[in-house]
Amino acid sequence: MNATISRRRDGLKNFLLASALGLAFLAGGAQAANATAGPPVKGGTLSVATIGEPPTLDPMASTADLVGILTQHIFETLYTFDAKWNVTPLLAETLPKISADGQTYTIPLRQDVTFHDGARMTAADVVASLQRWTTVASRGKQAAQLITGIAATDDHTVTITLKQPYAPLTALLAMNNAAAVILPKDKIATPLTEFIGTGPYKLKARVPDQYLQLVRFDGYKSRAGEPDGYGGARKQYLDEIRFVPVSNANTRIESAVAGQYEYVDSIPVESAAKLKSGKSEAVVLKPFGWPRLVLNTKQGIMSNVKVRQAVQMALNEEDMLFAAFGDKAYYAVDGAMYPEGYPWHTTQGTQVYNKGDVAGAKKLLESSGATDRTIRILTSQQYEFHYKMALVAAEYLKQAGFKVDMQVVDWATLTQRRQDPALWDIFITHSPFLPEPALIDFPSKDAPGWWDTPRRNQVLDAFNRATSQDERVKRWADVQQAIFDEVPFIKVGDFNAVAAKSPSLQGVTPAPWPYFWNAWKAAK
């Protein structure tokens, strides 16, 4: 093996391990607790309350976490992440073989994989799926700029060729939203009309606003070994999983307290103390991720960089976090894109964070030349903390001389509207901390926000070309500086997340995108 490539692989492995510092406990804690729960029980139906109705079941077409949570049970990717956030094979047999120049990835495929319609997966399906990914998914479009070819070497081998080294490629292929899922080549369509994957559960019914019903796929062939995060073995103990949209946060809290569902996602953190009835228990992810305001750089008032800088100057993120979470045990005031403990942590550019300087913002707004000063803020109460942060942000922006048009919609509508630059100026979202910065949706010019400037292109290209970990960390600091200078989005801070589960639900490892293969319901 070429020594440079070997060092690059070792560096990638090391930074993924280091990145897991904030989340590594997620793998161990729950599994240790479950170890005393007795042997797994096969059968039964699991009911899961989600934050709402998914806008689509096409995992390529959306970066919404909800879409990824649901569809990861139906569809699978070539790679995924293990419990320490290392990239690990899923439908691929092994990690890719990378050429000495870093421009050719040879991917051997498993030969025991069957689609839900009974067809055997081959390289032709993988090629067709990846080609669709490069035209439909924001992450795929991001990679497509550097991909020169996707071809089947034989029935069980696929080769991806690049015009230059691109360190994030394997991690992009592992993500579960805007995901490079593998579909039967003869079922590929845009939009998808048949939702056929290789996952442990298959779609039986979807009744909008009522439930999504998945049932065990008896033809599923798990990887050997033990479960390992999203990787390793995927056990099919449950007969059926029902995802039920519960859009109102207070309703989710009360349903968790009453034990109405075995798992309830996204509980407002201040309500965790209510989960002491014995019918549900809190599941805490610490640190989970970071909420942010995404600014529309493509069209409207936010296409003016001085206006974006005025918004950044006006906001008091500490007040926004306090309003959203109430207790400092659940948030941290931190402008860095990654918190301390991650190899990507840097304070570069953070001096403009959490200013709350409405007078300075007003002067900057005056100098921007903007005439219409109305900001349309798109948010949803399904993530209650989004809405609370939006209310505080609106007040600071009004003091800075803006007019605020608050548009409160359901999450599915928000994810649809944000695709149209004519409909909004700011929307609020959040992400978990991810081991590879390229996995965050903002690097893609096609992601809502559409950040596309010479500065952005320069710093991200240098970051993605870097082959050593030390160089990548240094280049990431340049990316963070560009973010604070050009303000395509504004990080609010760090936060922890809370979900609820029944004490009878076993085999569930707390994770940013909860998954329920390997889960079972203990006998009562």
Domain boundary among 137, 161, 190: 190
**Tokens matching residue 268:** 């407002």
If asked whether residues 314 and 184 sit together in one domain, one would say: no
Domain for residue 82, yes or no? yes
313 and 444 assigned to the same domain: yes
Q: Tell me: do 324 and 458 sit in the same domain.
A: yes
Entry pTM: 0.80
342 and 464 belong to one structural domain = yes
Residue 12 lies in a domain: no
Strand (E) or helix (H) holding 30: helix 25-34
Question: Looking at the structure, do residues 444 and 299 belong to the same domain, yes or no?
Answer: yes
Question: The CATH number of the domain where 390 resides is what?
Answer: 3.10.105.10
Query: Tokens at residue 85, please?
Result: 């956030």
Residue type, 122: T
Q: Nearest to residue 178, comparing CAs of 89, 94, 106, 77?
A: 77
Q: What CATH number did the domain enclosing 138 receive?
A: 3.90.76.10
Beta strands (DSSP E) in 10-169 are 45-50, 79-81, 87-89, 97-98, 104-108, 147-154, 157-162
295 and 175 within one domain: no
In the chain, which residues have pLDDT < 70? 1-37, 277, 524
Domain boundary among 190, 220, 244: 190
The label of the residue with tokens 């070994």 reads 225
Residue 295 sits in the same domain as residue 184: no
- Return the pLDDT at 342: 86
Last residue of a domain, one of 190, 216, 232: 190
In a domain, 2, yes or no: no
State whether residue 56 is helix, strand or coil: coil
Domain assignment present for residue 69? The answer is: no
With b meaning 16 or more CB within 10 Å and e meaning fewer, what string describes 94-103?
ebbebbeebb
Alpha-carbon distance of 295 to 378, in angstroms, equals 10
Q: What is the pLDDT of residue 333?
A: 97
The verdict on residue 105 lying in a domain is: yes
The 3-state DSSP class for residue 45 equals strand
- Predicted confidence at residue 278, as pLDDT, reads 72
What does the alpha-carbon distance between residue 499 and residue 303 come to, in Å, rounded to a whole number? 37
The whole-number pLDDT of residue 464 equals: 87
Give domain status of residue 522, yes or no: no
Q: Is the peptide bond before 287 cis (omega within 30 degrees of 0)?
A: yes
Examine residue 66 and state whether it is found in any structural domain, yes or no: no
Report residue 428 CA to chain centroid gap: 14
- Looking at the structure of the chain, the number of domains it has is 2
The reply to whether 167 and 309 lie within a common domain is no
- Domain residues for 348? 289-495
Q: Is 19 part of a structural domain of the chain?
A: no
